[in-house]
Structure 1
């Protein structure tokens, strides 16, 4: 690469670091005169790179947003961070957008890496092992994510078509056309959600973005309500989704202790006034009791979760759950009484 071309690319890298760079500073960094700096800037402008001239005492040059992305200059650490971020994003399902955008972006960056850096990256990827299986891909399309994010940021209503599911895993109210005041975007367990007030239903709803089509921002504005943030609203919606069984249990212990085993996306945990001990339950000192509410399509996994709490509990509903808890207790007792094979 000729020295002038190399310096023009170095100039672009300096401008991409952000802020206004004076001509004197750029001349010093490039090892050329100020007139040469201005000529290099003209070269970038000829290539449609949006370089702006800033006048005044602290004036100079800066990079402005353009109609297309200019060549991107990255340091070794930045290139590795971008590629590893894409790998991790695909693994969790967050960046696995429609088509192969994540893969093609990674391929483009990797293609222009110096050989020594490419070998360093290959060494990391070849030696890296994940402890969890790849998440199911449920990332939204850019044509959905970008307008919804814009509506959230500027408090604008958004309209879209919603397809499939039981209301998006959190009370979306089924499919069809929707007009929503969006409160926020939330990424949770490999999926993207938008939560807000559904004007079509007159209630707050949570929608999975991978089931949204044709999103468009509408005129007007709204004022987000006070109260829980978007993440808490989404987790509450997931925990209260209309599944087949509604489970209510009283558990002895503080809400903080119980939430370490039952996260907000699984259960709603609330401390009971006055200790909340159920009738007939043992009172151990000043121990408090909490009310735990869950929704489940099947009950077979609930007894094991309750046993893992390692806290006294009382089942309030459904009656069927009491029998399943007794069955699990019987199987555990039988297993404890069994002698090891060969004794």
Structure 2
């Protein structure tokens, strides 16, 4: 391991999910030892996602994270040490990425985390630690759907289901950055946020699929439909896509659905499963490349996550998860892990 430029403690605080549905426990653990290809990161902020809540409750079989386990997929922090074979980063670099919390990888609700360098990108200065920490999972999911699968382009008419949600509000911004015209479904209370993001809101509670397809596309259908909701919304997506050239993509395609509406349009469909690189080890480099795209958009002013107005530290992790699960919660949640960067001269880890 390349020597760290900052003094490191022998132990760290981490948030452990001890058993299904139990409160998170803050415990002491030794700092991780670096494996080839890894960097040691002092986590400044960790984003939490509904998936983290499902893992904590042992309700995410697809994530394969046996409990007890450290929770958390996303983070932003400072590189404090490197494995000898890592050349892409230096000690002191500020980075962000989706680096753990599934597939047996320790999570990011931890003062330090060892991460595969391929999953990381340099954090843009335009984003706060908290803003950078909440982006990785949702941005990668949105990018893989819109860009990798649907090949979104300028002039496309794009429909995002769940436009005020984590993936949805980022998908709107990505589609807009490519020059697409974007509509997004939501509730009446989410209308202002969807408009602020640059999309035309659709109140799915008062308008039928046929009505909004007619209003937005003259009944021709959308070029791209991105479903971030799942369930019956996938069926609605099949009914809303353009004949022949349209593409439906979903990040929650786990149910059983009739393909007839899609087939009768001659349209295409694909799914996104963002966890595959962490579960299989394949595709890690591409996740790092996607994070670089996130950084580019943030630097150009075209990407900004919506954060909750609530602030939490590690000791308040259980409160943060309760807030995330609240029916009227709006915005992504981050947990601040360290009050200051090691380069600020503070080495008080309160351990």
TM-score if structure 1 supplies the norm length? 0.30
User: Whose relative contact order is higher, 1 or 2, with alpha carbons under 8 Å and at least 6 apart?
Assistant: 2
Please identify the structure whose Cα radius of gyration is greater. Answer: 1
- Could you say which structure has the higher helix fraction? 1
